[in-house]
Structure 1
Amino acid sequence: MRTTPHNSPAGRRRWRRTAAVVTATAALLLTGLTTAAHADTAPASTSRVTWTRSCALPRHKDEMACNALRVTGGRTAFQQQHGISPTAAEATSPSGYGPSDLQDAYGLTSAAATNGTGRTVAIVDAYDDPDAESDLAAYRSHYGLPACTTAGGCFKKVSQTGSTTALPTADSGWSGEISLDLDMASAICPNCHILLVEAKSASMANLGTAVNEAVGLGATYVSNSYGGGESSSDATYDSAYFNHPGVAITVSAGDAGYGAEYPAASKYVTAVGGTRLTTSSTTRGWTESVWRTSSTEGTGSGCSAYDAKPAWQTDTGCAKRMIADVSAVADPATGVSVYDTYGADGQGWATYGGTSASAPIIASVYALAGTPSGGSYPAKFPYANTAALNDVTSGTNGTCATSYFCTARTGYDGPTGWGTPNGVGAFTG
């Protein structure tokens, strides 16, 4: 059973959140409502958009939450830049960044056009998305990306045991997460194959089993867009699920602001933080800062309470594993376009954010960069070539005693790691 220390920032926040969820759930039961009113809608005071959590908050201590945030109102950065009104966009056309935007922002246009053939990016999520393949087809068709289908051998969906028929129960919230992950893998590495592995529940044990299945089926790049509180069991989970030399495993740093989450804290994974991405008049044409909306919403970061520090991390303020390693766009106000049709929330085009967007982006950059050498731990690759990253030097995701744990600076910092991709050079060993 997973526990979070009460005296840690993450622990205090998680227990407050759990209490709120219990209270809200009791109210729903009393009124007879069974809809996903747990969604925790939050305003973005500086971005003029509102959003809701795609998935339910954890109901049990060993359960993970997905880190997808779906925009529900306001005007995104993409709409502002292109003069699109919110009402005109709605669910009939994209209202967030698409493949060409993301490839341009991260210096990947050339690599995305030529690299990735024969490489498989795995997406690990909980529950089933019955519309995953058809929604993926709609996204790729709209943006002129090559088809990726089961019949053509590009797309495959399996359960955590590898079955293509005995799939988990469908879930509308996790379907939004799945669509986000599949679309980001497509946007960054359109020539890659995609393997979707669906765990039968959101427990760490089932999601971890799905990670092992993805690697067993040959995926060399595995994206995980979920997280929960740390616990003394994490070292055991590390060995059981995430110690896969020669495989690039990425994990979302979390969406609750400053505080460490697992499995982002695993020493075997690349922990991915989140940024706010906007166009600018700079030579790059884009600028980024730490994503933070409020005291309880923004990219995760922090010093692990349990996981040992990997040899390639050299920051001196944290004796154990420091989160994050690298980062990519995650602010819903500067979010990405996603196509999702399953369930009550699946109305077609939507804009999503959260570090659920940044984790599959980075997994797919690893895929563009090439196959990791056998026995290597790709999490250390960015540390060996920091010049091939965009250093994010402004913004904070909370209040902390050791400033770089929660505040961007020149060089390494917790919220954004060493920065965001500037081509593929930082992701090859």
Structure 2
Amino acid sequence: MRTTHPVRSTAAPGHRRRLTAAFVATAALALSGLGTAAHADTATPTAKATWTATPCATPKHHGELACDSFRVTGGLTAFQKQQAARTGITPKAADATSPSGYGPSDLQSAYGLTSAASSNGSGETIAIVDAYDDPNAAADLAKYRSYYGLSACTTSNGCFTKVSQTGSSTSLPSADSGWAEEESLDLDMASATCPNCNILLVEAKSATTANLGTAVNEAVKLGAKYVSNSYGGSESSSDTSYDSSYFNHPGVAITVSAGDGGYGAEYPAASKYVTAVGGTALSKSSSSRGWTESVWKTSSTEGTGSGCSAYDAKPAWQTDTGCGKRTISDVSAVADPATGVSVYDSYGVTAGWYTFGGTSASSPIIAGVYALAGTPSSGSYPARFPYTAAGTSALNDVTSGNNGTCSPSYLCTARSGYDGPTGWGTPDGTSAFTG
């Protein structure tokens, strides 16, 4: 079992989450809604935004993993600033009455998915694996999809299914408001990227590796070919056994968040069988693409994860020479809360619209891209796909920013070609995600 905590440092991976008295006080404030940390907005450096880790980032019990999401609680997001520039009207910060982050059309535009999203994905199932129950998952998903003009995805039409880690649709885990926010984020991002996909939500009874891993197995058993996991924790010597027990599923694209604590390896992102997804800051630009990206880094303890695994072997298709074992990440997508995504959520908070960031957003986005690309061939490991010649040429290479200090520097600093924080880059269509 492993324990995780939301405060992280740039120390060695095995020592990145030491609980201190200061953290206990900060966590108590955050859980009560009274604690916020101010950070510079990456889209406009002179502006300020504030956000806190969602309550699910504080594990409820010893040995639980943390979900990798942040909910913006103040300031203006990149989306709101773009709206203000266009209309001349400054929006209200932290206003839950309307979306304040990027929506489906923005993400599809940024990642070259507009055509694929309209025509692909029918019959494909994306599984979302999270801990605990979100009683409002179906209703909140319906609100999100209706607002953005996406087709209905409900239990009655067979598009949306929610089950426990045993596959039961009636005997579900206990509810948790923090993880409910995480589930809303994951479901909405899967919808945004692949509107025609079916969605299977598998809820583990707690956030331990064993229960979340059992939920992954259940998702595959129920037929999902794309499984998104937005959680992680410190590495341990047990990880190689977890690999074989829960994540070795040939022919299934399993995506995992790289983490939100800056430089340092996390598990299960370190598994050689999964696609580890890093995070970027995404903003509109005057380039031919219309968008620009850099490594997401808010502070020394908040930013995309990356690094060199201490335990997991390097997969055959990964050839970087500065890490003898598994290197994180493989690819990336938007994760910076200041350039975050819109999510509708109503359980445990005022029902309404919120802006979220964290690599919890980037993992289901990439799972959706895999689904748009089509069913992986039997026996394949889809984590390999972006490493092919066709794959590397069909990604937006992110070449600026870092998530910490390290040696060799590419493990924490963007460069041309492969680097740890962003992998080979972000989607430019679906070609990099097909075998």
Q: TM-score interval w.r.t. the shorter chain?
A: over 0.9
Which residue is equivalent to 1:42? 37
1:346 positional shift: 4.4
1:423–1:123 CA distance, 2 compared to 1 (3 A) = same
Alpha-carbon distance in 1 for matches of 2:153, 2:295: 33
AA matched with 2:381: Y
**Contact 2:285–2:291 under 8 Å retained in 1:** yes
**Contact 1:50–1:74 under 8 Å retained in 2:** yes
Which residue is equivalent to 2:174? 169
AA matched with 1:418: W
Alpha-carbon distance in 2 for matches of 1:88, 1:311: 47
User: Aligned ranges for residues 326-337 of structure 1 at < 5 Å?
Assistant: 326-337=331-342
Which residue is equivalent to 2:386? 382
Which secondary structure state, in structure 1, belongs to the residue aligned with residue 276 of structure 2?
A: strand
Question: Is 1:404 paired with 2:410?
Answer: yes
Please provide the CA RMSD for this pair. Answer: 1.9
Alpha-carbon distance in 2 for matches of 1:7, 1:61: 22
1:14 positional shift: 1.1
Alpha-carbon distance in 1 for matches of 2:225, 2:352: 31
For each residue in 1:12-44, what CA deviation from the matched residue of structure 2 results, as whole angstroms up to 9, or x when unmatched?
3311x465444557xx5xxxx9x8248963322
Which secondary structure state, in structure 2, belongs to the residue aligned with residue 78 of structure 1?
A: helix
1:346–1:305 CA distance, 2 compared to 1 (3 A) = farther
> Percent identity among equivalent residues?
75
Question: Is 1:357 paired with 2:361?
Answer: yes
Task: Identify which of 356, 367, 370 aligns with 2:371.
Answer: 367
Which secondary structure state, in structure 2, belongs to the residue aligned with residue 257 of structure 1?
A: strand
Which secondary structure state, in structure 2, belongs to the residue aligned with residue 415 of structure 1?
A: coil
AA matched with 1:395: G
1:228–1:89 CA distance, 2 compared to 1 (3 A) = closer
Which residue is equivalent to 1:253? 258
Which residue is equivalent to 2:236? 231
AA matched with 1:97: Y
Question: Is 1:222 paired with 2:223?
Answer: no
Tell me the TM-score normalised to structure 2 length. Answer: 0.93
1:327–1:216 CA distance, 2 compared to 1 (3 A) = same
AA matched with 2:337: P
Task: Identify which of 301, 304, 310 aligns with 1:305.
Answer: 310
Tell me the TM-score normalised to structure 1 length. Answer: 0.94
1:201 positional shift: 0.5
Alpha-carbon distance in 2 for matches of 1:38, 1:82: 28
Which secondary structure state, in structure 2, belongs to the residue aligned with residue 376 of structure 1?
A: coil
1:283–1:367 CA distance, 2 compared to 1 (3 A) = same
Alpha-carbon distance in 2 for matches of 1:348, 1:244: 37
1:87 positional shift: 1.7
**Contact 1:230–1:262 under 8 Å retained in 2:** yes
Which secondary structure state, in structure 2, belongs to the residue aligned with residue 251 of structure 1?
A: strand
**Contact 1:39–1:56 under 8 Å retained in 2:** no
Alpha-carbon distance in 1 for matches of 2:144, 2:111: 20
Which residue is equivalent to 1:70? 71
Structure 2 unmatched runs, 5+: 43-47
Task: Identify which of 415, 420, 423 aligns with 2:421.
Answer: 415
AA matched with 2:147: H
Task: Identify which of 213, 221, 226 aligns with 2:218.
Answer: 213
**Contact 1:405–1:415 under 8 Å retained in 2:** yes
Which secondary structure state, in structure 2, belongs to the residue aligned with residue 183 of structure 1?
A: helix
1:10 positional shift: 2.9
Task: Identify which of 12, 16, 23 aligns with 1:9.
Answer: 12
**Contact 1:159–1:199 under 8 Å retained in 2:** yes
Instruction: Count residues with an aligned counterpart.
Output: 419
**Contact 2:75–2:93 under 8 Å retained in 1:** no
For each residue in 1:265-309, what CA deviation from the matched residue of structure 2 results, as whole angstroms up to 9, or x when unmatched?
000000000000000000000000000000000000000000000
**Contact 1:39–1:52 under 8 Å retained in 2:** no
Which residue is equivalent to 2:401? 395
User: Aligned ranges for residues 81-160 of structure 1 at < 5 Å?
Assistant: 81-83=82-84, 85-87=90-92, 90-160=95-165
1:103–1:131 CA distance, 2 compared to 1 (3 A) = same
**Contact 2:72–2:355 under 8 Å retained in 1:** yes
1:68 positional shift: 1.1
Which secondary structure state, in structure 2, belongs to the residue aligned with residue 339 of structure 1?
A: strand
Alpha-carbon distance in 2 for matches of 1:142, 1:395: 34
1:53 positional shift: 1.1
Question: Is 1:58 paired with 2:64?
Answer: no
1:252 positional shift: 0.2
Which secondary structure state, in structure 2, belongs to the residue aligned with residue 211 of structure 1?
A: helix
1:357–1:18 CA distance, 2 compared to 1 (3 A) = farther
1:137–1:256 CA distance, 2 compared to 1 (3 A) = same
Which secondary structure state, in structure 1, belongs to the residue aligned with residue 305 of structure 2?
A: coil
1:56 positional shift: 3.6
Which secondary structure state, in structure 2, belongs to the residue aligned with residue 91 of structure 1?
A: coil
User: Aligned ranges for residues 335-346 of structure 1 at < 5 Å?
Assistant: 335-343=340-348, 345-346=349-350
1:7–1:118 CA distance, 2 compared to 1 (3 A) = closer
AA matched with 1:410: S
**Contact 2:279–2:421 under 8 Å retained in 1:** yes
**Contact 2:57–2:68 under 8 Å retained in 1:** no
1:358–1:216 CA distance, 2 compared to 1 (3 A) = same
Alpha-carbon distance in 2 for matches of 1:126, 1:234: 19
Which secondary structure state, in structure 1, belongs to the residue aligned with residue 283 of structure 2?
A: strand
Which residue is equivalent to 2:45? none
Which secondary structure state, in structure 2, belongs to the residue aligned with residue 249 of structure 1?
A: strand
Which secondary structure state, in structure 2, belongs to the residue aligned with residue 289 of structure 1?
A: strand
**326-335 or 75-84, larger mean C-alpha shift:** 75-84
Alpha-carbon distance in 2 for matches of 1:402, 1:39: 40
1:176–1:59 CA distance, 2 compared to 1 (3 A) = closer
**Contact 1:79–1:96 under 8 Å retained in 2:** yes
AA matched with 1:427: F
